[in-house]
Amino acid sequence: MFDVTIVMPVYNEAECIGDVLNDWTAELDRFKFNYCLLVLNDGSRDNTAAVLERYAQSPRIEVINKPNSGHGPTILQGYREAVENADWIFQVDSDNEMEACHFGKVWNVRNDAEAVIGIRAGRLQPLPRKIMSAVSRMIISVFYGSGIADVNCPYRLVKSEVLNKFLPKIPEDTFAPNVAISGLLILHNYSIRNVPIPHNDRQTGEVSIKKWKLWKAAIKSCAQTVMVRFKN
C-alpha cells in the first residue's frame, strides 16, 4: 500500500517529461514515504514513449502507454488505478507549469482536510481560457455550492476513500473530471483546503485545444458537469 500515488497524464511532452520526472522523484524522495508515480502516456505522437521507456524499470514509477482518449479520460483511468493501492491520490499535469518543489505546501496540510486543492497563483491566460475558467466556477457555484477557488486546478490531493466514492458517478468520457470532483467534494460537505501554488507559463510543447475546439470543449465540459450533479 502506498501513502500517495501521483497521477500524471502525458501527451506530447518529450521535450520536458524527463526533467519533470526527475524533479518529482527527487522531491518525493525527500518525504521518506511510500509512493508511486503513475504516468499515463495518452497516445503521444512525439518521442514521449521512448523517453518514458527509460523510467519504466524504476521501482517508484509505473508507466502506462495507452491509446489516445483525451486528457480527462486519461486522468480518470489513472484515478481508477490509483485508488486501489494508495491512501492519498495526488494529480498533477506533466507540462511543469506547477512544479514539484511546491508539493510540500499541499502534503503538509493534508491532516486538516479530506481534499487539498491548489490555486494557480500568477497564472496568465488568454481571454478565451479566462472565460472558460469563469464559467466553470459559475457552474460549480450554481449547481454544487462554494468552497473551492480553482475548480479545475491540476495540483490536488484527495483521500482515496473519498475519491473512490465519486468515480462511479463520473462517466469515462468526461472532458474535465476534476471540475466534477470539485463539485462533488463541495456537494457532500467534505473538508477542503485551498492552497496557492505558483503557476509558470508553458515552456515546451503546445496547448492541444485551440480556437473553436476550445469553445466546443467548454460547452461539453459544462454540460457534463451539470449532468453529474443531477445524477447525484
> What is the CB neighbour count within 10 angstroms for residue 225?
26
pTM passes above 0.85: yes
Residue 193 pairs in a beta bridge with 116
The whole-number pLDDT of residue 211 equals 54
Q: Which residue has the higher pLDDT, 66 or 218?
A: 66
DSSP summary character for residue 45: S
Which structural domains are found in the chain, ordered by start?
2-231 (3.90.550.10)
The answer on pLDDT for 214 being more than 70 is: no
Mean pLDDT of the region 47-74: 95
Q: To 5 degrees, how large is the angle CA 197–CA 44–CA 28?
A: 35
| Integer CA distances (angstroms), 15 to 20, 58, 138, 142, 156, in order | 10, 20, 35, 40, 24
Residue whose C-alpha cell reads 486543492 in the numeric block: 117
The answer on pLDDT for 9 being more than 60 is: yes
Residue whose C-alpha cell reads 495507452 in the numeric block: 66
Q: Are 98 and 114 in contact (CB under 8 A)?
A: no
C-alpha cell recorded at residue 10? 502525458
Mean pLDDT taken over the chain:
91
User: For the chain, where are the alpha helices, taking DSSP H only?
Assistant: 17-29, 48-53, 71-82, 103-107, 127-143, 160-166, 177-187, 211-231
The whole-number pLDDT of residue 77 equals 98
R_g over Cα of the chain: 17
For the ranges 1-5, 95-99, 151-155, 210-214, the lowest mean pLDDT is seen at 210-214
